[in-house]
């Protein structure tokens, strides 16, 4: 009960902050809503309606925390097609149906849907949407309305429009184009100017304020009509009463045809992908590090879309730009979304007539900027740096989306990715045989650290990533988790990118996310997200370091150690250790070493048993060379070494007066007297109070290791620290 | 207390020394010697009679060849019999197993080319599905004995599990394996809460902890019924895993580099089970190590 009261108290405490950030967001949502609706050929007010309905419904029923919902960029292309092919009234009905489907996705728990698409294909689709927006609106920004069949035609015409604009004769058009260009400049340079007062109002709102101010200057100051041509002013912003009166009456007669349902599907697909990607991105920004309930959000978005469609609004989706502004302005819960809707209503009620003073090109400049952001050259260079094959996927999706449509675009992106994966692996069987197998194993290790261990077999790509994701999502982010890809022949870019996201997420929430077992895989580029393929014959020199390897490198730098990822065959320093008596060392790699050769930390690959039952094992070990001689011994957890003892015929040595130590550890060695002397109070206490490791002495050096597998970064640090302290205690 | 003792006696009576006769299909292939050596060693370990089943006409030459190979086991008092029978290999092996009352049938696996991956060939697979006795699938038979150190056994919630675990400990004892891990595969459906957000995650984690405790105590109960001489001086580990039944345990055995995986025989096998592989079928396509399927 008390926690509930507490929640209410915090809610009221943070209310002012949320009201404020809702207000700031509404300043952006107003021009964007108008612009996005107009770009989709819908009445400008439709955008505001969807933001208002969405804000109210999702803030009450949604499952995310600091997201903002409203009309989305991604949907512009689809809604445009829907309205041109179906007509406005039927398009509203299509929106209603897509809302129903969206709700269905929520009930079917399809929040993982966005993960079934390769990330380069999604990038390509978003870039295509950016180009659709940019291509169409660029001409309006230059006060040059044209009508073309194809987005590509719009893009090709851009130079001619600029040329035309330079030769305008009509004063109205010149002013209109100027308004557009100045607005674009504001969008481009706003983020570059650092001024406290200027930044109080977001760039889109500056454009609105300046254009309304400009219009009043002419009307009141100069007593002249606004010089911008009439047809380039926003028209048809109804007053609040008119909106209520103009609610369309739904008519379901025109729904039994193919284009209608194609539109419904496209709307649902894009709305869900855009929302899911945005929610994922916003979760990363949330200062309170909460996890959004995506399925619940999908249901709320679906319901909001249904309402919006009935009231003459567009699809309601979660939008990333407005949400990030929301977070930046100190929003802490969903009430900010509600207040954003509230202020939008207030604006329409109070200022709907003022909005007609905004020139169209100014509004379109905002959209041109958004479109450019989606398709900017940076996106392409980033994808290129990950790998050439990703660029192929990107462009296939981009071009087919522009030429045919969004659904065909994303499907062709998926197919292209699949074909590329098959070519890279020279095997379709790898995917066909294993795609349906539950190839992800996760369990909590039963030792004292209780790490979660995840092993992935065969291959891991966008096709089966959802299985891995499902397991990873079931781990609280403040835990330690180790993902092992060493049984995985192929890991694709989508998975690598997501692993990186998880790494960030766990780090932020106090956990630890380690990826191991990729050192044997090869990549084409140095980018950490590049896809990785297991090599049958490992190369000597590899293209790039894994994240674990780079972390080891920086660890080496911190301690003034040298790091080398190369495989070394020279392992004679390990020969005198009992542990390797029955094992054959292949090589050591990922070595951290100091010039004085006193301590070395390395990954080691060795095989157990000879040709008959040869098994290759990889572990992380620490080697400490001591200055003086100590007795030879082997120390491990009680009950772990018995099989060795059976072989060697040596018994567990008990140290007098240290029952706890004798109970918990298994100590072996030939020279019982010397060993008993060596394990003095300091050393036994040290072992008693520290985690278990296998510690072995060959007389002049120590070998320390923990697990049956490669260690994660955190474990490496712990091992290193243990070794350093042990060394201090012994000498 | 009395009832406990009584129960212990019954278990002891039922499941200790489960293998009295061992059968192996003999084909004169390059692997013959390794296969025979493995089978003979096991027969000696379990003190069981070995039946060599050959699909084909009997001949002096063949019998002599087999006798020659198994000569080195004479000193261990290996008791073996060669059975010749013609017909379809699957039928021959199955019918002979029934006639001779074989309790354990040894089958060899096939290695997938180029990769260190093993799977069960079509004949062995048919036999595995239809056999009424226990099956041992060997991935890498060898002439020299590879020591068996770590045995992984399933701890499914199933009536057969108790006898399976008991048998696994018996095998561990006979083969002198020091480590036994009991894997409790828990169907994720059992976690009634779906993870959506922080709150449901917390609840799911609590439920999982509870299930783990329950599973562990169930297994501990089973272990307490096993004769003490089988369980002492062994490191026993319980590992609960939330995952797909039959697949997770294989994956786990592979990661842990277990030497032997012991599993319950599937309860029933229908057409659908083969179409949508589950339980044992997963293991047959990807043998992680030697697998013992107990009837």
Predicted confidence (pLDDT) per residue in A96-127, tens digit: 999 999 999 988 888 777 778 888 888 888 88
* Whether domain B147-280 has CATH 1.10.630.10: no
Q: Does B202 touch chain A (CB under 8 A)?
A: yes
- In this structure, are strands A633-637 and A665-668 parallel, antiparallel, or unpaired? antiparallel
Q: Which two tokens stand for residue A173?
A: 């058009």
Q: Tell if the CB–CB gap between B144 and A612 is shorter than 8 Å.
A: yes
Q: What is the DSSP letter of A218?
A: I
Helix intervals (H) in A217-293? 240-245, 258-285
pLDDT over 90 at A447, yes or no: no
Q: Say which range, A147-151, A715-719, B112-116, B252-256, has the weakest mean pLDDT.
A: B112-116
Q: How far B178 CA sits from the closest chain A CA (Å)? A: 6
CA torsion sign for A660, A665, A666, A668 is negative
Other C-beta atoms lying within 10 Å of the C-beta of residue A194: 7
Cross-chain Cβ contact A109/B239 below 8 Å: no
CA separation, residue A659 to residues A622, A665, A724, B33 (Å): 28, 10, 26, 51
DSSP string for A700-727? SEEEEE--SSPPPHHHHHHHHHHHHHHH
Q: How many CB pairs under 8 A join A and B?
A: 88
CB distance from A508 to chain B under 8 Å? no
**Residue B2: its pLDDT value, please?**
37
> What are the extents of the domains in chain A?
2-133+238-354+376-386, 434-544, 562-730
Q: Looking at the complex, does the CB of residue B142 fall below 8 Å from at least one CB of chain A?
A: yes
Contact flag A441-B178 (C-beta cutoff 8 Å): no
Report CB contact under 8 Å: A441, B252.
yes
pLDDT tens digit sequence for A646-675: 444 456 677 777 777 777 777 777 777 888
A549 contacts chain B (CB < 8 A)? no
Task: Please check whether residue A657 touches B, CB under 8 A.
Answer: no
Instruction: Round to whole Å and give the CA distance between A370 and A133.
Output: 8
Residue A144 has pLDDT above 90, yes or no: no
- The residue ranges of every structural domain in chain B are 1-143, 147-280
User: Which tokens go with B214?
Assistant: 């329950």
B197 and chain A in contact, CB less than 8 A: yes
A107 close to B (CB below 8 A): no
Number of H helices, E strands in chain B: 11, 12
Scanning every residue of chain A, which has its alpha carbon at the shortest distance from the alpha carbon of B245? A438
Contacts of A372-380 with C-beta under 8 Å, sequence gap 24+, read A372/A130, A372/A134, A373/A130, A374/A73, A374/A126, A374/A127, A374/A129, A374/A130, A374/A131, A374/A133, A375/A126, A375/A127, A375/A128, A375/A130, A375/A131, A375/A134, A376/A130, A379/A123, A379/A127, A380/A127
B108-133 burial code (b ≥16 CB/10 A, e <16): bbeeeeeeebbbbeebbbbbbbebeb
Flag whether the pTM goes above 0.95.
Answer: no
The pLDDT value recorded for residue A706 is 78
Contact A285, A66 (CB under 8 A): yes
pLDDT band at B1; cut points 50, 70, 90:
very low
> Which residue in the set B201, B205, B247 is minimally distant from A291, CB to CB?
B201
Which residues of chain A lie closer than 8 angstroms to B196, CB-CB? 63, 111, 291, 293-296
CA distance B243 to chain A (A): 7
Task: Identify whether the C-beta of residue A246 lies closer than 8 Å to the C-beta of residue A45.
Answer: no
Inter-chain CB proximity B195 and A613 less than 8 Å: no
Q: Which residue of B has its CA nearest to A440?
A: B248
pLDDT in the model for residue A97: 92
What the block records as the tokens of A10 is 């915090």
Of B146, B205, B243, the CB nearest to A476: B205
Confirm or reject contact between B289 and chain A (CB < 8 A).
no
Mean per-residue pLDDT, A291-298: 87
What are the angstrom distances between the C-alpha of A454 and each of A475, A604, B259? 11, 21, 21
Which pLDDT does position B12 carry in this prediction?
A: 42
| Confidence at residue B7, expressed as pLDDT on a 0 to 100 scale | 41
Strands, E, within A372-419: which ranges? none
Beta carbons within 10 angstroms of residue B269's beta carbon: 15
Is CATH 3.50.50.60 what the domain over B1-143 is classified as, yes or no? no
Alpha-carbon span B257 to A541, nearest angstrom: 29
Backbone angles phi and psi of A31, in degrees to 5: -65, -40
What CA–CA distance (Å, rounded) separates B206 from B14? 38
A1 touches chain B (CB under 8 A): no
pLDDT at B112 over 70: no
A63 contacts chain B (CB < 8 A): yes
Are residues B197 and A293, on separate chains, in Cβ contact within 8 Å? yes
Q: What is the Cα–Cα distance from A633 to A650, expressed in whole angstroms?
A: 11
Whether A333 contacts chain B with CB within 8 A: no
Give yes or no for A476 touching B (CB within 8 A): yes
Interface membership of A437 toward B (CB under 8 Å): yes
**B263 touching A, CB under 8 A?**
no
The pLDDT score that the predictor gives to residue A1 is 44
B235·A642 Cβ contact <8 A: yes
The answer for B 99-128 residues in CB contact with A (under 8 A) is: 114
Higher pLDDT, B69 or A543: B69
Predicted local distance difference test score (pLDDT) of residue A101: 93
Q: Does B257 touch chain A (CB under 8 A)?
A: yes
Q: Quick check: B282 and A437 CB within 8 A?
A: yes
Q: What H or E segment, with its residue span, contains residue A593?
A: strand A583-593
Q: Flag if A612 and B140 touch (Cβ within 8 Å).
A: yes
pLDDT digits (tens, 9 = 90+) for B61-74: 878 887 887 777 77
Q: Of B251, B247, B258, give the one whose Cα is nearest residue B280.
A: B247
CB contacts of B197 in chain A (<8 Å) are 63, 290-293, 296
pLDDT (tens digit, 9 = 90+) per residue, B82-96? 888 888 888 888 888
Predicted local confidence at residue A416, as pLDDT? 92
Put simply, the answer to whether A455 touches B204 (Cβ < 8 Å) is: no
B201–A contact, CB cutoff 8 A: yes
The pLDDT of residue A638: 61
Task: Select, from the ranges A89-93, A590-594, B77-81, B168-172, the one with the highest average predicted confidence (pLDDT).
Answer: A89-93
Homologous superfamily (CATH) of A434-544 is: STAS domain (3.30.750.24)
3 state DSSP class of A286: coil
Residue B213 touches partner A, C-beta closer than 8 Å: no
- From chain B, the residues in CB contact with A442 under 8 A are 241-243
Would the CB atoms of A443 and B239 count as touching at under 8 Å? yes
CB atoms within 10 A of CB A602: 21
The pLDDT of residue A645? 44
- Does the CB of B235 have a partner CB in chain A at under 8 Å? yes
What residues of B are in contact with residue A446 (Cβ under 8 Å)? 237-239
Over residues A254-270, the mean pLDDT reads 86
- A728 vs B: CB within 8 A: no
Give dist(CA A267, CA A152) in Å, integer: 22
Mean pLDDT of B22-45: 81
* Helices A377-386 and A119-141, axial angle in degrees (round to 10): 160
Average pLDDT over every residue of B209-216: 86
CB-based contact A708 B257, cutoff 8 Å: yes
Tokens of A80: 């445009």
Query: How many whole angstroms separate alpha carbon A656 and alpha carbon A369?
Result: 77
How much is the mean pLDDT over chain A? Answer: 81
CA distance A659 to A656: 7
CATH topology of B1-143 equal to that of B147-280?
A: yes
Q: Which of A455, A612, A642 sits opposite B251 (nearest CB)?
A: A455
Quote the minimal CA–CA distance from B288 to chain A in Å: 12
The reply to whether A290 touches chain B by the CB within 8 Å rule is: yes
pLDDT interval class at A23 (50, 70, 90): confident
Rounded CA-CA distance A240/A352 in Å is: 8
Alpha-carbon distance A566 to nearest alpha carbon in chain B (angstroms): 25
| B-chain residue closest to A430, CA distance | B115
Position A632 scores a pLDDT of 83
Measured from the Cβ of residue B135, the count of other Cβ atoms closer than 10 Å reads: 23
* Cβ separation B142–A612 shorter than 8 A: yes
Q: Are A335 and A15 spatial neighbours (Cβ–Cβ below 8 Å)? A: yes
The closest CB to that of B197, out of A63, A608, A643, belongs to: A63
Distance CA B83, CA B78 (A): 16
**Cβ-based contacts of B204 with chain A (< 8 Å):** 474
CB-based contact, A717 to chain B, within 8 Å: no
Residues 597-616 of A with CB under 8 A from B: 608-609, 612-613, 615
Asked if B198 and A294 come within 8 Å (Cβ–Cβ), the reply is: no
Q: What is the pLDDT of residues B263-284, one digit of tens each?
A: 887 766 566 555 555 567 777 7
Lowest mean pLDDT among A215-219, A318-322, A637-641: A637-641
């Amino acid at each position: 009960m008390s926690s509930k009261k507490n929640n209410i108290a915090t809610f009221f405490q943070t209310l002012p902050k949320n009201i404020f950030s809702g207000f700031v967001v509404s300043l952006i949502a107003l021009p964007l809503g108008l612009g996005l609706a107009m770009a989709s050929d819908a009445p400008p007010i439709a955008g505001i309606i969807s933001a208002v309905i969405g804000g109210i419904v999702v803030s009450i029923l949604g499952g995310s925390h600091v997201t903002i919902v409203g009309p989305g960029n991604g949907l512009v292309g689809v809604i445009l097609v829907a309205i041109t092919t179906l007509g406005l009234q039927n398009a509203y009905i299509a929106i209603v149906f897509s809302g129903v489907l969206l709700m269905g996705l929520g009930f079917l728990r399809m929040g993982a849907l966005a993960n079934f698409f390769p990330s380069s294909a999604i990038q390509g689709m978003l870039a295509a949407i950016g180009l659709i927006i940019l291509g169409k609106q660029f001409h309006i920004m230059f006060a040059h309305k044209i009508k073309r069949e194809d987005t590509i035609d719009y893009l090709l015409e851009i130079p001619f429009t600029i040329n035309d604009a330079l030769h305008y004769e009509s004063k109205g058009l010149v002013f209109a184009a100027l308004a557009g260009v100045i607005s674009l400049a504001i969008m481009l340079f706003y983020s570059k100017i650092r001024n406290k007062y200027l930044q109080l109002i977001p760039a889109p709102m500056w454009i609105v304020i300046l254009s309304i101010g400009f219009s009043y200057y002419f009307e009141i100051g100069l007593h002249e009509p606004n010089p911008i041509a009439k047809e380039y002013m926003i028209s048809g912003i109804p007053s609040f009463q008119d909106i209520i009166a103009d609610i369309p009456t739904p008519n379901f007669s025109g729904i039994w045809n193919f284009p209608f349902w194609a539109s419904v599907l496209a709307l649902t697909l894009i709305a869900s992908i855009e929302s899911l990607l945005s929610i994922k991105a916003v979760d990363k920004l949330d200062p309170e590090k909460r996890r959004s309930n995506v399925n619940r959000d999908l249901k709320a978005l679906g319901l909001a879309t249904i309402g919006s469609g009935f009231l003459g609004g567009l699809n309601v989706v979660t939008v990333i730009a407005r949400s990030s502004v929301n977070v930046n302005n100190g929003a802490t819960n969903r009430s900010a979304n509600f207040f954003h809707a509230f202020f939008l209503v207030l604006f329409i009620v109070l200022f709907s007539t003022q909005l007609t003073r905004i020139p169209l090109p100014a509004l379109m400049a905002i959209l041109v900027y958004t479109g450019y952001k989606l398709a900017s050259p940076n996106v392409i260079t980033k994808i290129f740096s990950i790998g050439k094959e990703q660029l192929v996927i990107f462009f296939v999706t981009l071009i087919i989306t522009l030429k045919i449509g969004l659904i065909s675009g994303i499907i062709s992106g998926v197919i292209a990715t699949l074909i590329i994966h098959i070519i890279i692996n020279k095997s379709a069987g790898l995917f066909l045989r294993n795609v349906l197998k539950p190839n992800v194993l996760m369990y909590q290790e039963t030792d004292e650290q209780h790490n979660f261990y995840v092993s992935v077999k065969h291959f891991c790509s966008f096709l089966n990533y959802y299985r891995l994701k499902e397991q990873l999502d079931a781990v609280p982010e403040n835990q330690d988790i180790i993902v092992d890809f060493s049984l995985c022949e192929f890991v694709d870019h989508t998975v690598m990118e997501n692993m990186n996201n998880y790494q960030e997420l766990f780090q932020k929430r106090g956990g630890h996310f380690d990826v191991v077992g990729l050192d044997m895989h090869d990549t084409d580029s140095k980018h950490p997200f590049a896809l990785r393929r297991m090599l049958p014959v490992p190369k000597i020199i590899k293209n790039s370091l894994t994240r674990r390897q780079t972390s080891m490198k920086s660890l080496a730098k911190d301690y003034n150690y040298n790091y080398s990822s190369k495989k070394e065959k020279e392992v004679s320093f390990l020969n005198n250790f009992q542990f390797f008596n029955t094992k054959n060392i292949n090589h050591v790699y990922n070595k951290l070493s100091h010039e004085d050769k006193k301590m070395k930390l390395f990954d080691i690959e060795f095989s157990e048993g000879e040709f008959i039952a040869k098994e290759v094992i990889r572990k992380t070990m620490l080697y400490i060379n001591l200055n003086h001689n100590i007795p030879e011994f082997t120390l491990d957890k009680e009950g772990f070494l018995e099989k060795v003892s059976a072989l060697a015929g040596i018994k567990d040595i008990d140290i007098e007066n240290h029952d706890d130590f004798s109970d918990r550890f298994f100590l072996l060695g030939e020279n019982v007297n010397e060993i008993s002397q060596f394990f003095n109070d300091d050393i036994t206490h040290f072992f008693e109070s520290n985690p278990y490791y296998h510690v072995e002495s060959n007389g002049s050096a120590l070998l320390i290791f923990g697990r049956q597998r490669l260690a994660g970064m955190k474990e490496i640090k712990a091992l290193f620290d243990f070794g350093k302290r042990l060394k201090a205690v012994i000498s | 207390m009395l009832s406990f003792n009584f129960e212990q006696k019954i278990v002891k009576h039922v499941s200790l020394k489960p293998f009295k006769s061992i059968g192996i299909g003999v084909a004169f292939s390059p692997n013959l010697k390794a296969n025979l050596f493995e089978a003979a060693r096991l027969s000696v370990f379990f003190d069981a009679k070995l039946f060599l089943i050959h699909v084909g006409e009997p001949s002096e030459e063949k019998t002599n060849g087999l006798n020659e190979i198994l000569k080195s086991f004479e000193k261990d008092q290996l008791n073996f019999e060669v059975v010749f029978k013609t017909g379809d290999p699957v039928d021959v092996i199955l019918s002979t197993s029934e006639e001779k009352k074989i309790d354990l049938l040894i089958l060899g696996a096939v290695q997938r080319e180029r990769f260190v991956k093993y799977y069960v060939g079509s004949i062995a697979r048919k036999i595995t599905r239809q056999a009424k006795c226990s099956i041992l699938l060997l991935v890498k038979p060898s002439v020299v004995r590879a020591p068996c150190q770590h045995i992984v056994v399933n701890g499914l919630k199933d009536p057969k599990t108790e006898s399976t675990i008991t048998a696994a400990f018996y095998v561990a004892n006979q083969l002198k394996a020091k480590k036994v891990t009991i894997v409790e595969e828990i169907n994720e459906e059992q976690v009634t809460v779906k993870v959506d957000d922080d709150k449901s995650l917390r609840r799911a984690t609590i439920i999982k902890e509870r299930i783990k405790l329950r599973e562990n105590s169930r297994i501990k109960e089973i272990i307490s019924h096993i004769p003490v001489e089988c369980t002492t001086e062994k490191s026993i580990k319980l590992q609960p895993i939330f995952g797909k039944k039959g697949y997770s345990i294989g994956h786990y055995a592979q990661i842990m580099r277990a030497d032997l995986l012991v599993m319950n025989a599937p309860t029933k096998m229908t057409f659908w089970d083969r179409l949508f592989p589950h339980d044992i079928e997963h293991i047959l396509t990807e043998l992680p190590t030697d697998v013992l399927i107990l009837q």
